[in-house]
Structure 1
Amino acid sequence: MHTPEIVLLGGPNSGKTHYFGQLYIRLRRHAGQLQIRSDQGTPPDLSPLEEVLHCLENGRSASHTPTKTWREVLLPLVDAQGSEMNLFWPDYGGEQLETVFKDREVPEAWRDRLSKADGWVLLIRLRKETTYPDVLAELSERAKHSNGSEARPGVWDANARWVELLQILLHVAGLGTVERLRSPRLTVLLSCYDELETSEVLPSKVLATHLPLVSAFIHSLWADDAVSVWGLSALGCALDKDSENDKFIDEGPEHQGWVIASNGGERDADLTQPLAWLLKAS
């Protein structure tokens, strides 16, 4: 019987390390829809988790994953109905995705996972994304006062960068863009959702407001029932790496953080829900 495999994609400062730690704590304490399969026992190498778990238990934020790091933890998961999935959680410096975009070259480890995956989890931290909403008007104005020798900006608009990166990853995975995709299924997590001051009810509308080209590309390429967009606050608040948050410690990290479901609604402390959505659809 095929066990679905899920991979996670996130750039630098996207919050994937904190989500990783908070997810694992909930899995071990049975605080969500998914659990670690008992027949597998403890994953053989938890070294990528040690720092973030220690920091969370002490109410501090974890340090940034070094750029060249590549380690992987296999989390064998199961839901209440007995459906199983293997979550290959890569611990890597998010700058590696930037390198993929810049060099147009995907490492072999990534190629293997992308081609086999039944589902992708994409983390986007909207407050860290650079956009140029008035870029066309700005370029038009510059053209009036320039001889054409002015250098292009060094930072890409996030809309163009994410669409280009997704196309690279899809090409490496051997996936075409002629027909709408049903596999791999895609979950988009808008991380650090507590940073956003938004009155929008649906996370998909928040994505469309901040990154309209990315939203349009995703929803045009994936079938409606094969993509979902969630709001994610893995910590529920900002932590400092040098000082402890007593409230976070006293209440326990498993009671911190929340998600907003793709169909809206109240904050939910079950951080496994976006992954459970992928599993139910497999």
Structure 2
Amino acid sequence: MHKPEIVLLGGPNSGKTHYAGQLYGRLRRCSGLLQLRQDQGTPTDLSPFEEVFRCLSSGRAANHTTAGTWVEVLLPLIDKLGNALDLRWPDYGGEQIKIVFERREVPEEWRQRLINADGWLLLIQLQTETVYLDALDQLTERAKHSCDSNARASNWDANARWVELLQILLQVAGLGTVERLHAPRLAVLLSCYDEIEANDEPPPNVLAKRLPMLSAFINSVWATDSLSVWGLSALGCRLEKDSNNEDFIDGPENQGWVVAPEGGEPDSDLSRPLAWLLETP
């Protein structure tokens, strides 16, 4: 049995929690490319997913994962071809990604996961990313008024920050960039895609327009068949902690969608990016 590992990369408010909960709903409903495997041989604790799903079933947003949290949920999966796999899904507070970037240090537990990972899943919410029209001038001016590391990190243009972070992670994983990478695969999910005016453009084009340096970097580092960019709307709309959205009360697993890298109509199968990430190129 294949037992793949993934590295889930996403900062605070990137949509990791809601995607995990909605993905669990899809897997449980057994309607997509991946399904939960029903057997007695793999003990599982799916409570982190179930808690998110319960919140969504009440029509309200789930709490974000706390900063110090790190857990791994074992997902016993089966694909459409009948191949069984046990996927370890990481769940952690998005602030940990900020700390890695600010300190230029990667904890040992992260290093081992980066080395062993079959795929990297990167979540970016474009609407919350800061981009400067003239980044160098802006950063120079702001640096004059900033001394602490948190202030310096917040002043980075999102293009430079994501490229710098990926370079750190690639180095820690022992991955060079002289030749384009075929493994681990990289899937980029542009979260809250329902809030983006994409004008029917495919997600890779949207990323290239919003974060051109990041787009150019990942396309230069990863081989074409080992990189994909998806639009993700895990909920299909905005939920608040005090919401009471009856559409979700009727079944949160019926909400949310992805847009494939080639564009086209939204697809309700939220497991598609994960299935692509785990397949052999």
- The answer, yes or no, to whether TM exceeds 0.5 is yes
Superposed displacement of residue 133, structure 1:
1.7
Other-structure match for 2:95:
95
Point out where structure 1 has 5 or more consecutive residues left out of the alignment: 143-147
Q: Whole-Å Cα distance in 2 between the matches of residues 122 and 85 of structure 1?
A: 21
* 2:232 equivalent to 1:238: no
Verify the 8 A CA contact 1:193 1:232 in the aligned structure 2: yes
Q: Whole-Å Cα distance in 2 between the matches of residues 2 and 77 of structure 1?
A: 10
Give the direction of change, closer, same or farther, for the CA distance of 1:171–1:139 in structure 2 (3 Å limit): closer
Other-structure match for 2:130:
130
Code of the aligned partner of 2:74:
L
The within-5 A match list for 1:59-138 is 59-136=59-136
Superposed displacement of residue 201, structure 1:
1.8
Runs of at least 4 residues off by over 6 Å: none
Q: Paired residue for 1:150, among 137, 144, 149?
A: 144
Other-structure match for 2:162:
162
Superposed displacement of residue 249, structure 1:
1.4
The within-5 A match list for 1:255-270 is 255-270=254-269
Q: Whole-Å Cα distance in 1 between the matches of residues 99 and 43 of structure 2?
A: 29
TM, length-normalised to structure 2: 0.91
Other-structure match for 2:206:
206
* 2:203 equivalent to 1:229: no
Q: Whole-Å Cα distance in 2 between the matches of residues 119 and 18 of structure 1?
A: 20
Give the direction of change, closer, same or farther, for the CA distance of 1:229–1:85 in structure 2 (3 Å limit): farther
Residues 134-163 of structure 1: per-residue CA shift (max 9 Å, x gap): 3346579x6xxxxx9933673211111100
What secondary structure, in the 3-state scheme, does the structure 1 residue paired with 2:100 have? helix
Give the direction of change, closer, same or farther, for the CA distance of 1:234–1:178 in structure 2 (3 Å limit): same
Give the direction of change, closer, same or farther, for the CA distance of 1:54–1:151 in structure 2 (3 Å limit): same
Q: Whole-Å Cα distance in 1 between the matches of residues 46 and 139 of structure 2?
A: 50
Give the direction of change, closer, same or farther, for the CA distance of 1:43–1:186 in structure 2 (3 Å limit): farther
The within-5 A match list for 1:41-60 is 44-60=44-60
* Farther-moved stretch of structure 1 (77-86 vs 173-182): 77-86
Verify the 8 A CA contact 1:232 1:259 in the aligned structure 2: yes
* 2:253 equivalent to 1:277: no
Q: Whole-Å Cα distance in 2 between the matches of residues 179 and 169 of structure 1?
A: 17
Q: CA RMSD in A?
A: 2.1
Superposed displacement of residue 111, structure 1:
1.3
Superposed displacement of residue 110, structure 1:
1.2
Point out where structure 2 has 5 or more consecutive residues left out of the alignment: none
Code of the aligned partner of 1:123:
L
Q: Whole-Å Cα distance in 2 between the matches of residues 261 and 43 of structure 1?
A: 33
Percent same amino acid among aligned pairs? 66
Other-structure match for 2:4:
4
Superposed displacement of residue 7, structure 1:
2.5
Residues 16-62 of structure 1: per-residue CA shift (max 9 Å, x gap): 10000000011011021101223366752223224311101111100
What secondary structure, in the 3-state scheme, does the structure 2 residue paired with 1:170 have? helix
Aligned pair count? 275
Code of the aligned partner of 1:117:
A
Residues 71-109 of structure 1: per-residue CA shift (max 9 Å, x gap): 110213221112344432222110100000011111222
Give the direction of change, closer, same or farther, for the CA distance of 1:245–1:149 in structure 2 (3 Å limit): closer
Give the direction of change, closer, same or farther, for the CA distance of 1:181–1:204 in structure 2 (3 Å limit): same
Verify the 8 A CA contact 2:200 2:263 in the aligned structure 1: no
Other-structure match for 2:173:
173
TM, length-normalised to structure 1: 0.91
